A and B are shown apart, each in its own frame.
Chain A
Amino acid sequence: MTGAVEAPVGRLESRLRAARDRGRKLLVPYVTGGLPGWERVVEACAAAGADAIEVGIPFSDPVMDGPTIQEASERALRAGATPPAIVDALADLDTGGVPLVAMTYYNVVFRQGHERFAAALARVGVAGAIVPDLPLEEVGPWAAAADAAGVETVLLAAPTASDERLVRICARSRGWVYGVGLLGVTGERSELAASALAMARRLKAVTDKPVLVGVGVSTPEQAAEVAAVADGVIVGSALVRRLLEGGGPEVAGRFVAELRAGLDGA
């Protein structure tokens, strides 16, 4: 059961729901915007079987991110990446209809202004936004602007939340519900945490929205394991590490295809 008053379902959520209801497990890779050649990497992810793609707009102080995405953010910022330049570049990407979701920290949004930032995302066709330092208690003003602009704000749900809190998070989340798979920041882990499955189960019990689990999901095997319960996965650090090691669109595409195959049980 979700909250009584539900917003109309947006195009990100409709698309993900439809795919899920066809029996497909959902795959959302994360790419840090502003890394060299990142635009082609995003397109390669789309072509390799992603259902949506998170594009990180780097922030100087990413507290929810571990060493890999910190490093990627620092490199992108040093290379001169700015939020408007990244958002503008999204307009020109050819993802074959695979929706894009912007992921950034709240000060980037606040500095531009809620309405302006939401309008900029909508103008370039971005379907959703994730702002990990905007919890339920503070999301109101941004969420109102995003809703008005047709940008779906995906909320995070963490293992520390009570069941009652999970219900409220699911009711306010748009697009999908982002289950945090473990207690910790982003980064690769050698094994899937037991908490990832527990999180997926708890969320599936309280919402009908697509439930995707991220943070600590790094391999095709882990993706398949968590997607046995969840509707899909978000994979960030494992992909970004490959980019930091010099990989380009081919490497990214191959990795996403492996994840896809893992999820498809191939």
Chain B
Amino acid sequence: MSDTTTAPVMGDPGPDGRFGEFGGLFVPETLVPACQQLDAEFRAAWADPAFRAELDRLLRDYAGRPSRLSLCENLSTELGCRVLLKREDLNHTGSHKINNVLGQALLARRMGKTRLVAETGAGQHGVATATAAALLGLECTVYMGEVDMARQALNVFRMRLLGAEVRAASSGSRTLKDAVNEALRDWVATVETTHYCLGSAMGPHPYPFMVRELHRVIGDEAREQCRELTGGDPDVVVACVGGGSNAIGIFSGFAELPHVELWGAEPAGGAAIGHGVPGVVHGSKSYLLQDEHGQVLEAESVSAGLDYPGVGPEHAHLHAIGRARYERVTDAEVLEAFQLLARTEGIIPALESAHALALVSRERAALAGRTVLVNLSGRGDKDVAQVARILGVDLSGTEVAG
């Protein structure tokens, strides 16, 4: 137990980008030098106090960090456990995505790149990337699946307001997976001037590692805030898992504390760990929804941000070694939880974040009397129209007249 030479649970994946058997650099040859340069440049920047100071300043003065930790008294009473929310929804642009994006945009500028390309599902990462590009004077192109452009129309307009070009990914399932394909194809053609600002803890090395480090601030803040507020550590930390960036960020603050359980909530229709087997797509080896021949399957979730058949490789590793536990929640449970938080606490969560709340709500018996820290990865404004549609509420205004 007290062996100080034991490797950390969430350590450095090394030059090969390996988390146990997962991770790696499975990209077209054209991109290998760019990924290797990115690894070297990120490590140099991360060790450079001037870079860290500039990022910290932006996170504080622009994004609004540190984000708050809220003790939810009403919800705690309702569920019978003490619920703490890490309020990433209060960040500028409305989700945790800004942490990663500000870091990568600064890094892009440091590398002399003049353009960012990004994929987006719900649109939150696209909005965050467009925001950082506007702030730092970089060009920005965001790929988004056609299906997602329809269900997240507000975010499409937001990105365009911010000066980004939004291009539809119209092949395959026309969701996040296809947007990643298009972003990679763009990068293959533009790698000399463009940085691929990948939005989750997935993809080829160094992305899973770099994105985790850029979101580590969530876990580090939350651990200290929790100790201050409660005098101790939470019993369980819960986060939703799409590609896995908000989860990896908050987990990284607690992974080395063996008394803290780590839970990830996957959508039932896109549960790469729950239903997948090891595979390789989008640059790394991880769990993947695929058929017997290795064709990638389409995910299907109410939440565009979690509608992805893969998962970041470090989550695959945390699952394989049993350090984190991954559970599936259904769309119906998510819609319940979405409304529950709104009603009890006056906070409308992102549908993605509502997955974490749904898991807590379902496991309330097991959590009775314990302290649960939930990563509220984003706010739900973007989802309100979609939820109204699903609940059969008419927003056209005719209802008032009638």
For window 24-54 of chain B, which residues contact chain A by CB distance below 8 Å? Answer: 24-34
Complex Cα gap A231–B81 (Å): 71
- 1/0 contact string of A62-99 vs chain B (CB within 8 Å): 11101000100010010000111000000000000000
Residue of A nearest to B28 (CB): A64
B184 & A63 in contact (Cβ 8 Å cutoff)? yes
Contacts of B296 in A (CB 8 A): 60-61, 107
B191 & A160 in contact (Cβ 8 Å cutoff)? yes
Q: How big is the B interface, by class?
A: 35 or more
For window 171-188 of chain A, which residues contact chain B by CB distance below 8 Å? Answer: 180, 183-185
A183 & B290 in contact (Cβ 8 Å cutoff)? no
A133 & B27 in contact (Cβ 8 Å cutoff)? yes
Residue of B nearest to A106 (CB): B280
Residue of B nearest to A62 (CB): B181
B279 & A107 in contact (Cβ 8 Å cutoff)? yes
Contacts of A136 in B (CB 8 A): 29, 32
- 1/0 contact string of B249-285 vs chain A (CB within 8 Å): 0000000000000000000000000000011111101
Contacts of B31 in A (CB 8 A): 160
Complex Cα gap A67–B27 (Å): 19
With contacts A83-B293, A108-B294 known, is A133 near B26, CB below 8 A? yes
B294 & A158 in contact (Cβ 8 Å cutoff)? no
The count of chain A contact residues (Cβ–Cβ below 8 Å) is 41
Give the segment of A14-22, A35-43, A161-169, A242-250 that binds chain B: A161-169
A77 & B295 in contact (Cβ 8 Å cutoff)? yes
Cross-interface CB contact of B280 among A66, A82, A107, cutoff 8 Å: A107
Let me know if A155 is at the binding interface, CB within 8 A. Answer: yes
Complex Cα gap A171–B211 (Å): 34
With contacts A59-B295, A107-B296 known, is A70 near B171, CB below 8 A? yes
Sample of 10 A–B contacts (CB below 8 Å): A84-B293, A107-B281, A108-B295, A132-B29, A133-B26, A138-B26, A160-B30, A160-B33, A161-B32, A180-B30
Which residues on B are within 8 Å of A, measured CB to CB? 16, 24-34, 171-172, 177-178, 181, 184-185, 188-192, 278-283, 285, 288, 290, 292-296
